[in-house]
């Protein structure tokens, strides 16, 4: 106890330096554990980009490619699915619901998705969260459009605005469906998923704007007005992909095999969770890079503490010698230095953990609203405790260096006067 009291008094005399050391370690720990927590929750959020959907069906290609264009609106399908094939799959006795989606058009760099009202009913994200309308309503008229939150924010659209859809997925397009403008009737709540960057219209509307087009261009000498298109048969001829929900999870592989062996055309059915895991393995290397960077920040913080202890040690040579002269053994001096280093590290770890939770409580709503990542405010996980324990052990190891030097200082060296 005497050593503890002595260490406390010693730190009190150097409280400004000690405070800076604690702050350095605290910030390092906040970054380390914060990055780990954000990494874990981001991965969980990524995996929950689509929930409740058992299968995604598209033209035969690769699982990741199908996932990219059907869910993330990246790239294009190698082929479409005929409407007849889709109806047969939707009518399978083990299929509970199905949602067709049609891609291929865009608006100022944002993808346009043609679908049915069932999309808003069955699409789930973030575990089991539903899509919600914050302004307006879902499409009711043929030329109604529902915008994702980011589309509305970045382009400054409000209810009632007119939108011209362009053919193709490029940011700049000279082939526009300007004879059939859409009207904004609804804006979705932010989800942190590709839904935010999507402009949603009805599936018949996709047919209507292409009814006088062929091979990606308007047909010469034929122009069908928006009103005339309303009276025509707008049953889709093909779709890009479909989301499938099953009556029982047990039937997942059975229905998947049925679709993959479909005789009419080459199709592919994928499990979203499995494909999302494969995609994360391709892009998740960034999370490891972040963890490495934060670990180096902790190392820098510990080196800062080592520098402070070594610098102060040279100024405390006389103090160490006086302690030796009044009966303190070398082991006592070593314990004193180690205790100071351990106390500073432990205080820095606790302060960093407290700072992290303050930031989480303050920033959780904003992160969830802006990025769709819900960071749980819970106790440290087992892995986080390991990280914190490693920092404390590292602090003691760092303290052993100046402790050993103090241990080796001789009594005569401390009391001698250097000229």
Rounded to 10 deg, the angle between the 15-47 and 285-315 helix axes is 170
What backbone phi and psi angles, to 5 degrees, belong to 131?
A: -80, 135
Per-residue model confidence (pLDDT) at position 327: 59
State the CB neighbour count (10 A cutoff) for residue 218.
15
Task: Find, among 379, 380, 376, 357, the residue nearest to 368 by Cα.
Answer: 376
Rounded to 10 deg, the angle between the 272-283 and 15-47 helix axes is 140
Per-residue model confidence (pLDDT) at position 374: 66
For residue 70, how far is the Cα from the chain centroid? 19
* CA angle, residues 388, 394, 400, in degrees to nearest 5: 145
Per-residue pLDDT of the chain (419 residues; tens, 9 = 90+): 555 565 566 666 667 777 877 888 888 888 888 888 887 777 777 777 888 899 999 999 889 899 989 998 888 888 899 999 999 999 999 999 999 999 989 998 899 999 999 999 999 987 788 999 999 999 999 999 999 999 999 999 999 999 999 887 665 555 788 889 999 999 999 888 899 999 999 999 999 998 887 766 677 767 788 888 888 889 999 999 999 999 998 999 999 999 999 999 999 999 998 888 888 777 667 767 777 877 787 777 777 776 766 666 555 555 666 665 555 566 666 777 777 777 888 888 899 899 999 988 888 777 766 666 667 778 888 888 888 888 888 887 877 776 666 666 544 454 454 44
First to last CA, the chain: 38
For residue 107, the SS3 value is strand
Per-residue model confidence (pLDDT) at position 412: 47
Please tell me the pTM assigned to this model. Answer: 0.71
CB 57 within 8 A of CB 267: yes
CB 403 within 8 A of CB 337: yes
Which residues is 98 bridged to in the sheet? 244
CB 89 within 8 A of CB 239: no
User: Can you tell me the distance from the alpha carbon of 186 to that of 182, in angstroms, rounded to the nearest whole number?
Assistant: 12
Per-residue model confidence (pLDDT) at position 329: 64
Task: Find, among 217, 151, 214, the residue nearest to 187 by Cα.
Answer: 151
User: Can you tell me the distance from the alpha carbon of 394 to that of 390, in angstroms, rounded to the nearest whole number?
Assistant: 6
């Amino acid at each position: 106890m005497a050593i503890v009291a002595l260490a406390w008094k010693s730190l009190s005399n150097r409280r400004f330096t000690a405070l800076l050391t604690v702050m350095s370690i605290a910030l390092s720990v906040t970054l380390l554990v914060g990055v780990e927590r954000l990494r874990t929750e981001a991965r969980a959020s990524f995996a929950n980009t689509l929930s409740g959907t058992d299968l995604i069906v598209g033209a035969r290609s690769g699982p990741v490619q199908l996932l990219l264009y059907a869910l993330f609106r990246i790239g294009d399908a190698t082929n479409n699915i005929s409407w007849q094939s889709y109806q047969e799959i939707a009518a399978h006795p083990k299929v509970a619901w199905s949602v067709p989606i049609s891609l291929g058009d865009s608006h100022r760099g944002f993808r346009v998705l043609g679908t049915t009202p069932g999309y808003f009913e069955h699409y789930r994200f973030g575990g089991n969260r539903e899509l919600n309308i914050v302004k307006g309503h879902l499409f009711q008229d043929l030329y109604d459009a529902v915008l994702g939150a980011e589309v509305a924010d970045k382009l400054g659209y409000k209810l009632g605005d007119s939108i011209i859809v362009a053919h193709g997925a490029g940011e700049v397009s000279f082939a526009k469906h300007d004879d059939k403008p859409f009207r904004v009737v609804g804006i979705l709540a932010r989800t942190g998923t590709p839904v935010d960057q999507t402009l949603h219209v009805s599936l018949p509307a996709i047919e209507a704007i292409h009814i006088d087009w062929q091979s990606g261009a308007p047909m010469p000498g034929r122009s069908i007005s928006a009103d005339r298109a309303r009276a025509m048969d707008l049953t889709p001829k093909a779709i890009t992909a479909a989301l499938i929900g099953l009556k029982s999870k047990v039937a997942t592989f059975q229905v998947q095999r049925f679709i993959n062996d479909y005789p009419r055309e080459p199709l592919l059915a994928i499990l979203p969770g499995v494909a999302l895991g494969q995609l994360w393995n391709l892009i998740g290397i960034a999370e490891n890079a972040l963890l490495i960077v934060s670990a180096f920040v902790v190392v820098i913080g510990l080196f800062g503490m080592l520098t402070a202890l070594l610098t102060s040690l040279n100024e405390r040579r006389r103090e160490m010698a006086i302690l030796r002269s009044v009966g303190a053994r070398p082991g006592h001096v070593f314990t004193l230095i180690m205790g100071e280093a351990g106390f500073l590290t432990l205080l820095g770890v606790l302060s960093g953990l407290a700072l992290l939770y303050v930031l989480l409580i303050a920033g959780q709503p904003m992160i969830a609203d802006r990025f769709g990542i819900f960071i749980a405010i819970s106790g440290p996980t087992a892995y986080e405790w390991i990280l914190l324990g490693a920092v404390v052990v590292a602090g003691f190891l760092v303290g052993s260096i100046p402790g050993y030097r103090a241990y080796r200082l001789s009594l005569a060296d401390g009391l001698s006067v250097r000229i």
